[in-house]
Structure 1
Amino acid sequence: MLKERYLWIGLFIVLCSMVGNELYFQSKKLTEPIFLQHYYETFVYEGNQLQFFYLSDKAEPAEVSYVTVNDVKMNPIEVPFPSFWSKDVYRPDIKEEFTHHTLQSVTLQLPTDSIPVNEGSDDIWTFNNMEVTFTNGKTIEANIGEVRVYGKLQADDALKNTYDSSSNRNFYEWYAVATEPLTIDGISIPFSEQVGTDLYLKLFFEPKITTQVDIDTYSKIPDWYNEKFLSDMLLDDLEGVSLNDELFPIHLSESDYMKLYMYFSPESKLAFDFNITIYGTTDDGEPFEYAVPINSSNRPSLTEEDVNKIIEKQTGGLNQ
């Protein structure tokens, strides 16, 4: 009789534990996937794609069926998953796993035949929200930051790109020479308020143009740009002056060169990929603009704490 009593007590404890675990699991379940913030600039060309990141439940990863933006339908590019049984197996593109959630991405095909921008035109198509339909039939309205699609990439021939390289997703370098005498009046960065110090830009000119005094005076270094970052990313602390409005105007003679070094924070919670624009006037009085793609292949870098904070900020992010 005593053994039977202990047995029932044990079963009751196990049952309570199971119920508690289930309630805890349900409390961590998202009411809907949460899209992160993206700041993109791109231009129209055949085969263009856009990648978006979102948080989903780990137990039931949400897979995007299609997306609609202002009546423009965009379909995802399927990501192949190697399988012993079949080479044509597909699954949600999971970038990172956390205790109860996953960071996933969907890559959308930009349909050049239906977007309200013609290739080669001066038009711009901007959107901040997407209507996302998942394979389970659920549709949500997702704020994704801001995407700007241009008809063309502006690149006047006052500057000529001579070299560019990206050794990893946290660094990109770009070199150019002046094809004629010109004055650079500034360099503009879109989404600078949103991106903040997640992008660190250094410029290098010949010593006759910028001096060590300029480097010492204008260099403002973000906290994440340190010896550990450079060591982890196998990068060098290349000589240059931090981008600063007070540095301009800068005059270049014909064949003078300039270098841009772009560093991307490994701790960024954003996804961004856009063009920085070098602008100014030639000595003949002609204005020029040159758009330099930053070639950022970064993706958001999240910790468990970051995920929880993002969910807390999202109204209705968790079942309570």
Structure 2
Amino acid sequence: MTEKYRKSQSPISTITSLESSPATSPHSPLRSPPLKSRTPMDNFERQLINNNLELPSQYFTRERHYPRSPSPRPNANVPDKYTEPKTSREYSQKQMSEILENNYSSLPKWILDIIYVELRALFLRTRHLDHSSRNSMIEDIISKLFPHFSKKKENKQKISFMGKRFRKVFDRWRSELWSNIGFTYQNSCTNDNISQLKSKVSVSTIFRQWLTCVSNELSEEMERALQNVIIYGIRCLSEEVDDDKTARRNFFMANTDLYTINLDFACTDKIDVTRSMELSHYYISAARSFPEDDDEKNDNDEREQRKHKKK
């Protein structure tokens, strides 16, 4: 195991648990399919069964999309005005459009925070975005949050620019999630079997920075789904003890988003753009089923190309 997983360097060892946080959301929960037994659909899922791991309740569609939500997604509650927290000043959607048009490459922190809330909710549902050549998931979130800004054709390129920058945030979050799973494995789980892991894995710790966007207490279904994501990551590490790079790749190639894609995370801002999104509409990189669409590989290739250009 690499040096970065030593106990003394753990970034999550002192994090306060969120399990006792009270529910504050006025929204009624959206019904999601329970995690249950079904027929394995590919070699990956057969491996899950062989290792006593739980299958997600749904599988990719033939069109390489995520499965549809079993119930209609709730409507978003996009406000007519946003309030800047420090000054309590209100900005209409038209005024927000002017700010975005003039500052799209360097947004004020309070506007970034509006977007980050929705992106964190998206990360809880999926750690994979639609293909980088489209990047529609993030661009749609921006467009729905700021409809006056997005309806102007001349702002299309600005939305695309913003979307690419926020996509890099997702890439960083993937690394941070993997680090959290790695520290948990090294500090607590190296000799445990799956049944023991379930009592040790802390969803509220490992996913803490993304759960800050969630207004309601995690349901048993949400807890169980996120726990399955973590346990699979630990399994990847246990199989590649001396090769963190391969373990990480195996984890993200597995596309464990099928556990979480249709869960109902109500946001603290009560705008709930991400909550309203039917993610089955997007062409995703289902890496384990369709290797030629490995989005992580494409993103790495893009980074290499940028390095060569700088030279």
- What TM-score do the two structures reach when normalised by structure 2? 0.24
Higher strand share: 1
- Whose radius of gyration is greater, 1 or 2? 1
Higher helix share: 2
- What TM-score do the two structures reach when normalised by structure 1? 0.24
